[in-house]
Amino acid sequence: MLLKFSLFWRFQIVGWIAFFFLVLPTKWVITGSFLEAVGSFLLRDGCSFLLTLPMRHVYRRIYRGHQTPAWIVGSIAVASVLAALLQLPVLYGLEGYFPFEESIIFGQLVLLAMFYYRVCLFACWSVLYFGIKVMQGKAEREVRLAQTVAERRGVELQRLRALMNSHFMFNALNTVLSALEQQRRGVIKMVQSLADYLNYSLRHKDDDFVFLGDEADALGDYLVLEKARLGTILNIACQIDDSVREIRVPGVILQPLVENAIKFGCATCSPPVVVRIAVRRQKSELLIEVANTGKWIEPEEKRICGGLGLANIRQRLDWLYDDRYYMEILSEQNWVSVQIRIPAES
Amino acid sequence: MINSTLRALIVDDDPTARERLRFLLAEHPEINVAGEASSVATAMALCRDLHPNLIFLDVDMPGGNGFSLLEKLDPLPSVIFVTAYDAFAVRAFEVNAVDYLLKPISPRRLADAIQRLIHEPPRTQTIPYRTTDRVFLPHGRGYRIVFISDICGIEARENYTEVLLVDGTHVLMRRPLLEWDQRLPKSLFFSPHRSLIVNLKAVHNVVLESRARLSFKLQGRDRAFVMGQRPAARLRRALRLASE
């Protein structure tokens, strides 16, 4: 039943019940009657209980999780004194009104002692409150950290998958075998390109960023094999300025974009599919544009499609650049294009 | 099928792969390649015209993958799936005990698959399902392909079972409820009594009508399921565990 309440209320309820049993014997001795002791508790400590609620409200508003210990101690002191001052009229006002209070003699000194006692009570309550808050914050931070690590691992995995594009490798091997069986020309170039691509993949498997020049060369190797596989169906126009080769880009970004363009171009337009690749510098930014003939298909339900090339790229850019990048998918007439702008850093 | 040639159709968007498979099939006189298709749409048209009794089907085709062809054909010819390694697809083939070839196709494996097709009865498979798996349910003379998590319940109907799906439709198939119970993941499915299995995530509107009577509804269905005291107690316990 207690589990239905929030953490605060669980501690609040259990704490005050425990406190009741703690002070009951003393009150019983002072008042000389069990009922009077309970009544006194309900009135005086009930009032303190009620005062902790606005205190919580105030603490919640001012505590942001990064204040210094001195700041917390200061606010506890101020809040406790204020709360005890607010309770003073209750302590004082009860004098003489209730029969069971008669046995206590109220002098100024007693009142001062009771005031001091309340200040301590509120301070203890506050220390507990902040203690639990700090611990909770710590636990939350740990969970968040674990999430970030998991996220990072996910992004990493996607990059490795794109890098070790087994789908492409096996298709390429299929093409090579076919070319050998049919005694076609160009097999040497195909095998060389496949070897270079594999080499590139292994060399950069731990790098977040690579030189655009290397990335472009790997794309060239990839395209040699795709051209051999798809023959006249595929028409590629690639324009990558030599001046951008020294710029660093996220590893394996061009090839998945092009793979996506070829794949969906084949699916949505009658052959030949034209794929246009353009990479150039625009002021302080690098512009990557990959366009294909065909139509934009809304990604079906993710699980049916399996891999979502573009969504993966976006997630990786998100991770690496935060909001310092721009990615847009444009669809007009018979062209679909993906534009990416990232900072041109070398 | 024995001692006669099979009319085969090759479905693949990759022209080189089609060419290569045709080349490899030249070694098998029992297979006569009647046509080639580069998309699911062309494949459907060719199936109507040629009535093939075997399809070599590449699953990774954009814009309607190979699986969707399986759902659209009626009657469905024998199918040998082909894929350049795709973990999702391979898992689906394994779970559903269908034959498949990995690209680049090896001539030996191709021969094995053809032998199995001609001489062996269809295999049955008993590997446990995972919640992310796709299952091929025989439907009419073809298949319906559904995700395990889209099954909201299974009811026994004598020798058959009726698979209730989240979209409100159902598939009646010849598979005992016990086999379902053994293969479905326990984390998601629960059998409160011998003739029903429910997807715990699809159970809603649970009403305790009396001490000995509980009713609930399943996603996509208006009908209320009613159960007696002991199954009700078991179901409530399973629901509590699942929600924790």
Q: Name the residue among A175, A177, A268 with its Cβ closest to that of B63.
A: A268
Q: Name the residue among B15, B64, B102 with its Cβ closest to that of A230.
A: B15
Which residue, among B15, B75, B6, has the nearest Cα to B39 in the 3D structure? B15
The pLDDT tens digits of the residues spanning A136-168 come to 888 888 888 888 787 777 777 766 666 667 788
Is the CB of A303 less than 8 angstroms away from the CB of B132? Answer: yes
The pLDDT tens digits of the residues spanning B9-61 come to 999 988 899 999 999 999 999 999 999 998 888 888 898 899 898 999 998 77
- Work out whether strand B196-199 and strand B6-11 pair parallel, antiparallel, or are unpaired: unpaired
DSSP class of residue B176 equals -
Chain A hits for B84, CB-CB cut-off 8 Å, are: 166-168, 170-171, 174
Confidence grade of residue A315 (pLDDT, cut at 50, 70, 90) = confident
Q: Which of A110-114, A206-210, B128-132 has the highest mean pLDDT?
A: B128-132
Is the CB of B16 less than 8 angstroms away from the CB of A268? Answer: no
Mean pLDDT within B226-233: 87
CA–centroid distance for B46 within its chain: 23
Residue B232 tokens read as 């009700």
Do residues B104 and B14 touch, judged by C-beta distance below 8 A?
A: no
Do residues A241 and A277 touch, judged by C-beta distance below 8 A?
A: no
- From B102, which residue of chain A is nearest by alpha-carbon distance? A170
Residue A345 tokens read as 């850093």
Confidence grade of residue A95 (pLDDT, cut at 50, 70, 90) = low
Is the CB of A178 less than 8 angstroms away from the CB of B88? Answer: no
Please, what is the angle between helix A187-203 and helix A166-181, to 10°? Answer: 160
pTM over 0.95: no
Integer Cα distance of B72 and B37 in angstroms:
15
A186 CB within 8 Å of a chain B CB = no
Percent of chain A with pLDDT over 90: 28
Q: Name the residue among A177, A231, A264 with its Cβ closest to that of B15.
A: A231
Confidence grade of residue B1 (pLDDT, cut at 50, 70, 90) = very low
Chain A hits for B61, CB-CB cut-off 8 Å, are: 267
Name every residue whose Cβ is closer than 8 Å to that of residue A55 and which is 6 or more positions away in sequence: A79, A83, A122, A125, A126, A129
Residue A71 tokens read as 């700041």
Q: What is the rounded radius of gyration, in angstroms, for the C-alpha atoms of chain A?
A: 36
A167 CB within 8 Å of a chain B CB = yes
A160 CB within 8 Å of a chain B CB = no
Integer Cα distance of A282 and A341 in angstroms:
9
The pLDDT tens digits of the residues spanning A9-32 come to 888 899 999 999 998 998 888 878
Chain A hits for B109, CB-CB cut-off 8 Å, are: none
The pLDDT tens digits of the residues spanning A29-39 come to 887 888 888 88
Q: Give φ, ψ of B132 to 5 degrees.
A: -90, 0
Q: What is the mean pLDDT of chain A?
A: 83
Chain B hits for A297, CB-CB cut-off 8 Å, are: 62-63
Q: Name the residue among B63, B103, B105 with its Cβ closest to that of A267.
A: B63
Q: Name the residue among A174, A182, A305 with its Cβ closest to that of B17.
A: A174
> Which residues are registered as beta bridge partners of B196?
B155, B193
Q: What is the mean pLDDT of chain B?
A: 86
Complex ipTM more than 0.85, yes or no: no
Do residues B84 and B1 touch, judged by C-beta distance below 8 A?
A: no
pLDDT attached to residue A163: 64
User: Which H helix or E strand runs over A53?
Assistant: helix A46-62
Residue A164 tokens read as 């070790």
User: Which H helix or E strand runs over B180?
Assistant: helix B177-183
Confidence grade of residue A89 (pLDDT, cut at 50, 70, 90) = confident
B29 CB within 8 Å of a chain A CB = no
* Residue predicted with more confidence, A321 or A155: A321
Question: Which amino acid, one-letter code, is at A87?
Answer: Q
Q: Name the residue among A166, A175, A305 with its Cβ closest to that of B16.
A: A175
Chain B hits for A173, CB-CB cut-off 8 Å, are: 103-104
- Per the rule left: phi > 0, alpha: psi between -120 and 50, beta: everything else, B39 is beta
Q: Give φ, ψ of A210 to 5 degrees.
A: -135, 165
DSSP for A317-345 reads: HHHHHTTS-EEEEEEETTEEEEEEEEE-B
Name every residue whose Cβ is closer than 8 Å to that of residue A188 and which is 6 or more positions away in sequence: none
pLDDT attached to residue A167: 82
- From A171, which residue of chain B is nearest by alpha-carbon distance? B84
Chain B hits for A304, CB-CB cut-off 8 Å, are: 65
Please tell me the least confidently modeled range out of A76-80, A318-322, B199-203.
A318-322
Confidence grade of residue B2 (pLDDT, cut at 50, 70, 90) = very low
Query: What are the strands of the beta sheet with A273-282, ordered from one edge?
Result: A234-240, A273-282, A285-293, A335-343, A326-332
- Work out whether strand B213-218 and strand B203-210 pair parallel, antiparallel, or are unpaired: antiparallel
Q: Where are the beta strands (DSSP E) in A64-119?
A: none
Chain B hits for A175, CB-CB cut-off 8 Å, are: 16
Please, what is the angle between helix A254-268 and helix A212-230, to 10°? Answer: 30
Integer Cα distance of B9 and A204 in angstroms:
42
Integer Cα distance of A22 and A57 in angstroms:
26
Percent of chain A with pLDDT over 70: 88
Task: Identify from A175, A180, A190, A305 which residue to disrupt to test chain B contact, counting B C-beta atoms within 10 A and taking the largest count.
Answer: A175
Is the CB of A174 less than 8 angstroms away from the CB of B132? Answer: no
Integer Cα distance of A293 and A178 in angstroms:
28
Confidence grade of residue A2 (pLDDT, cut at 50, 70, 90) = low
CA distances to A24, A281, B174, B195 from B157, rounded to whole Å, are: 67, 68, 9, 8
Q: Where are the beta strands (DSSP E) in chain A?
A: 209-211, 234-240, 248-250, 273-282, 285-293, 326-332, 335-343
